[in-house]
Amino acid sequence: MTKPLEGIKIIDFTHVQAGPACTQLLAWFGADVIKVERPGSGDVTRNQLRDIPDADALYFTMLNSNKKSLTLDTKKPEGKEVLEKLIRESDVLVENFGPGALDRMGFSWERLNELNPKMIVASVKGFSDGHHYDDLKVYENVAQCAGGAASTTGFWDGPPTISAAALGDSNTGMHLAIGILTALIGRGKTGKGQKVAVSMQDSVLNLCRVKLRDQQRLERVGYLEEYPQYPHGEFSDVVPRGGNAGGGGQPGWVLKCKGWETDPNAYIYFTIQGHAWEPICKALGKPEWIDDPAYKTAEARQPHIFEIFGTIEGWLADKTKFEAVDILRKFDIPCAPVLTMKELANDPSLRASGTIVEVQHKKRGSYLTVGSPIKFSDMKPEVTASPLLGEHTDEVLTSLGYSRQDIFNLHEIKAV
């Protein structure tokens, strides 16, 4: 089956997570992604948090599947020459170096556009161009702080908190992938490439948009009725951390189930959807709450919402998180067990859908990785192993017209 992005050649000048997550997605969908790495060391994540000596770390393998690896010292003239050849025949170059690194290497946007006016040049940086912090190098947690996620995550009596989800890294990579695909469609109309830039701060903020909503509501009315601070606590002039509150119009909380005393994940998330109040009361065996004025409306419930959550926890006390969800689903109540990574890794539904896949790697043997979360009716993206460092160097150089002697010489001077 031909894949939609087959024939699109991408120079993957990315490292760590934000850039590689973007190019991996495009590779899953058929693009020919050539990862350019420094000879000898490669992407730093190959060595980070290794669990098997001498084998690429899972951090690398899980972000670089379906790609080729070309080692190239792009600071040496011979390496630059190879890169220029590659640029002339590629559709996209993706990079997430520190600010100014590509310019210092001699590949500014102007130069790239001169070498290949049809090429799309896509970049991730910590902050957008012209921002007063645009000289900063940025990693995940820095972006979560700069994009508003940290100040609004966690509990009100604790410090700003980082999410385990890669809001700064992979999320930015996903935004960049959308930008690249948009620019490719644009090129189909204009024949011209363009520069696509996504900052980690902007991508985090884009996901925190409801908190920007809340800031404006707070400034207007002085309180946020869906936050645990309402109506008994105090609000300042900034959006507070709301613990496990729902965040939208539906109150919710993480509630203890049977076994929580010894199992730190024996919890469910329970949502009190306004119009589902009657089925909730029926599920909990509390029919008297249905028409009780103290419970009947969302407004009436909010002042004692934690007493209601406490009653639900009483109901949950003799049910495991799975048993509870099996009952509540029959009443159409939005809820889920709090799942651990172990439970997710072994979930047969996720294996069947290709969301978690087992891949064979030349050095590691088999490992688990995430597959495409995007499902298509006409294509099932297949996940293949990440490349060894420089595994495709000779293949790529040959395709660029280099002879065996040329390739030998490039190896000799360690340009590749």
Q: CA-CA distance, 94 to 390, in Å (whole number)?
A: 18
389 sits near ligand COA (criterion: CB under 6 A): no
Q: How many CB atoms lie within 10 A of CB 222?
A: 9
Determine, following the binding rule CB under 6 A, whether residue 112 of this chain makes contact with ligand COA.
Answer: no
Q: Does 24 bind ligand COA (CB under 6 A)?
A: no
Using the minimum distance from each CB to ligand COA, give the nearer residue, 16 or 245: 16
- Interaction of residue 80 with ligand COA, rule CB under 6 A: no
Q: Give the binding range for ligand COA (CB under 6 A) out of 24-32, 123-131, 236-244, 314-322.
A: 123-131
Cβ(269)–Cβ(246) under 8 Å? no
**One of 29, 97, 227, 402 touching ligand COA (CB under 6 A):** 97
Which residue lies nearer to ligand COA by CB, 70 or 183? 70
Among 10, 12, 17, 316, binds ligand COA (CB under 6 A): 17
| Residue count (the chain) | 416
393 binds ligand COA, rule: CB under 6 A: no
Q: Taking CB under 6 A as the rule, does residue 127 contact ligand COA?
A: no
Integer Cα distance of 210 and 246 in angstroms: 11
Is 323 a known ligand-binding residue? no
169 carries an active-site annotation:
yes
Residue of the chain from 4, 75, 300, 358 that contacts ligand COA (CB under 6 A): 75
Strands 267-271 and 335-337: antiparallel
Q: Any known ligand binding at 245?
A: no
Q: Is 307 exposed, middle or buried (0-12, 13-18, 19+ CB in 10 A)?
A: exposed
CA distance 163 to 321: 23
The end-to-end CA distance of the chain, in Å, is 34
Cβ–Cβ < 8 Å for 252, 244: yes
Among 12, 43, 73, 226, binds ligand COA (CB under 6 A): 73
Question: What's the min distance (Å) between Cβ of 411 and ligand COA?
Answer: 15
Whole-angstrom distance, CA of residue 145 vs CA of residue 134: 15
Catalytic residue among 43, 56, 91, 169: 169
The response to whether 111 counts as a known ligand-binding position is no
Residue 273 or residue 393: which is nearer to ligand COA going by CB?
393
Question: DSSP letters of 167-213?
Answer: TTTHHHHHHHHHHHHHHHHHHHHHS---EEEEEHHHHHHHHTHHHHH
Mark residues 140-179: x for contact with ligand COA by CB under 6 A, - for none: -----------------------------x----------
Among 5, 10, 11, 18, binds ligand COA (CB under 6 A): 18
Please name the residues in contact with 392: beta carbons below 8 A apart, sequence gap of 6 or more: 34, 68, 69, 70
Region binding ligand COA by CB under 6 A among candidate stretches 133-141, 223-231, 292-300, 381-389: 133-141
Identity of the residue, 17 or 386, whose beta carbon is nearer to ligand COA in the bound complex: 17
Is 13 in contact with 94 (CB distance < 8 Å)?
Answer: yes
With residue 122 as reference, give the H or E element that holds it: strand 120-125
Instruction: Please tell me whether residue 68 binds ligand COA under the rule CB under 6 A.
Output: no
Give the residue with the Cβ less far from ligand COA, 63 or 359. 63
Whether 140 has a binding-site annotation, put simply, is yes
- What does the alpha-carbon distance between residue 14 and residue 384 come to, in Å, rounded to a whole number? 19
CB of 388 to ligand COA, least distance (A): 16
329 vs 135, 319, 335, 353, CA distance in Å?
50, 14, 8, 21
3-state SS assignment for residue 395 = helix
Distance CA 285, CA 149 (A): 38
- The distance of closest approach from Cβ of residue 125 to ligand COA in the complex, given in angstroms and rounded to an integer, is 5
36 touches ligand COA (CB under 6 A): yes
Residue nearest to ligand COA (CB): 98
Nearer to ligand COA, 379 or 388 (CB): 388
Strand-by-strand arrangement of the 120-125 sheet = 68-71, 32-37, 9-13, 92-95, 120-125, 195-199
Known binding-site residues for substrate equal 248-250
What are the catalytic residues? 169
The site for ligand COA (CB under 6 A) is made up of 16-19, 36-38, 72-75, 96-98, 101, 104-105, 124-126, 137-139, 169, 200
Residue list for the binding site: 15-18, 38, 72-75, 96-98, 104, 137-140, 248-250
